[in-house]
Structure 1
Amino acid sequence: MEPPKPLGNDVPMPRKPVARDAVLDAYEALLIEVGERAATLDAVAKRAGVSKGGLLYHFPNKEALTTALLERLDLLADEDTELMKAAPDGSAAYFIRSSLWADTPMDRAFVAATRLAEVAHEETRRRFAAIQQRWLDVLAEDVGPEVAKAVSYMGDGLYFNAIFEGGQEGGNAGREADVEILLGVLERLRK
């Protein structure tokens, strides 16, 4: 098979996303948009643009798709935790600033997983608890355990209010002032 032909300036044509990732992305999107019950294997295959056989090649059942989504969430949460630890103004300030919907891979995986938790998917709930504990541990290193809890609730409030108020579609224009207010509160709590 011939390699892709270069576009002007010898730049190769972009490759299609790997089918496995396309299927997982489709499952994630359907969970966000229509929920767990409507995210059937047939719907995922159609959304991903693959045959059901192609989907089943990568994910033999819906639980395998869910496991892959939770692995994605864990990986993204690990990356986020490392960014928190390295933040120049501290993990608590990073946590508050990053608690607005920004349509990042982490946002999408997190919201998709919440749709699984809504239907009492125990493994999802367990993973959420572990991620929250990791975040709390990092926050506690920065501001102590009591303030860490307060920062966690501040971030959760920002995030979920942004989602409920259309943050996924409308952006966070009005929320930036809230972030600055909460960062001021954080500085007072640090003292």
Structure 2
Amino acid sequence: MPRLPRAKALILAAARDIVERDGAGALTFEELSRVSGVTRGGITYHFPTKDALLQGLLEHDMQQWKESEAACTPSNLPCPKQCELIGFIRSHTSEDESRRRFVAGMLSAAVHQPDLLDGCREEIRQRYLGSDWNDTELRAHVLRLAAVGLFWDEIFQFQSMPPEVRRRFTGLLEQLAREWVPAAGDPEPDTEQDKKRK
């Protein structure tokens, strides 16, 4: 990721701190100027409106998600698809209090301005563009959705599982990723329908 200009990086870091602490509703240019040390004119040079600032925050967060996923992706498995899937699972199930507070702080803005999430929607659309949705891809998607569900369980602090069970659950997701996504040249795992036919 190219390095951001210093003032823009300061603005985004301060804006994220405000959102984490008090939610997106508390993000005003005055408060941002106070926290970041950047003048209001400096802020509006990079982000002319609050919507542009929120969009910039989300874009920066998406880039951090990509970096987190890359850092969580193992490189020692025989199948790149297994590696990618496990990286996805690990990045979505890691317990990150800062991320939890940021996403929780952005929820009201996203609910009131659904178009703020257009960049996220496009990112997800691009990820799955060209998928043929065979049985292996469907199984992988089941695991992705389970990881995303655990992420939202954490965001809302439902704590549906005790910590030890949560660790076992994420371990099971990774185990299933290895079993359900075959390495190149390996046969597809049998579906329940295949087993019934045999």
- What TM-score results when the alignment is normalised by the length of structure 1? 0.65
Tell me the amino acid that sits aligned with residue 50 of structure 1.
V
Structure 1: gaps spanning 5 or more residues? 1-16
1:100–1:52 distance in 2 versus 1, CA, 3 Å: same
CA deviation string 1:104-154 (max 9, x = no partner): 99x4797265553232331x3222222223444599799733113202211
1:45 pairs with 2:33: yes
Could you say if the C-alpha distance between residues 25 and 85 of structure 1 is closer, same or farther in structure 2, counting changes exceeding 3 Å?
Answer: same
The counterpart of 2:10, out of the listed 10, 22, 37, is 22
Q: Does 1:97 align with 2:85?
A: no
- Give CA deviations for 1:86-110 in whole Å, capped at 9, x if unaligned: 74442222211221245499x4797
Are 2:58 and 1:66 aligned?
Answer: no
The amino acid across from 2:109 in the alignment is L
The corresponding residue for 1:153 is 145
Go from structure 1 to structure 2 and tell me whether the alpha carbon gap of 1:36 and 1:104 turns closer, same or farther (over 3 Å shift): closer
- Conserved? CA contact 2:73–2:86, under 8 Å: no
Moved more, 20-29 or 32-41: 32-41
Q: CA RMSD in A?
A: 3.9
Q: What does residue 10 of structure 1 align with?
A: none
Query: What residue identity is the alignment partner of 2:142?
Result: A
My pick for the range that moved more, 78-87 or 59-68, is: 78-87
Q: Greater shift after overlay, 130-139 or 23-32?
A: 130-139
Name the CA shift for 1:156/1:94 in 2 (closer, same or farther; >3 Å).
same
Percent identity of the aligned residues? Answer: 22
The answer for the alignment partner of 2:45 in structure 1 is 57
CA separation in 1, counterparts of 2:131 and 2:169?
A: 20
Q: Give the equivalent residue in structure 2 for 1:33.
A: 21
Count of residues in correspondence between the two structures: 169
SS of match in other structure, 1:55: helix
| 1:4 corresponds to | none
Contact persistence 2:92–2:150 (CA under 8 A): yes
Q: Which runs of 4+ in 1 moved over 6 A?
A: 83-86, 138-143
Counterparts of 2:176 and 2:100, CA distance in 1 = 28
Q: Match of 1:127?
A: 119
2:173 pairs with 1:176 = no
Specify the code of the residue in structure 1 equivalent to 2:37.
G
Contact 2:69 2:91 in 1 (8 A): no
- The DSSP-based 3-state class of the residue aligned with 1:165 is coil
Contact 2:14 2:32 in 1 (8 A): yes
Query: In the alignment, is the contact (CA less than 8 A) between 1:69 and 1:113 conserved in 2?
Result: no
Provide, for residues 142-188 of structure 1, a one-character-per-residue CA deviation record: whole Å limited to 9, x for no partner: 97331132022111122122233399xxxx96433221122234345
Return closer, same or farther for 1:75/1:94 CA change in 2, 3 Å cut-off.
Answer: closer
Contact 2:29/2:40 (<8 A) preserved:
yes
Q: Is the contact between residue 136 and residue 152 of structure 1 (CA under 8 Å) also seen in structure 2?
A: no
Which residue is equivalent to 2:157?
Answer: 165
Counterpart CA distance in 1 for 2:117 and 2:51 is 15
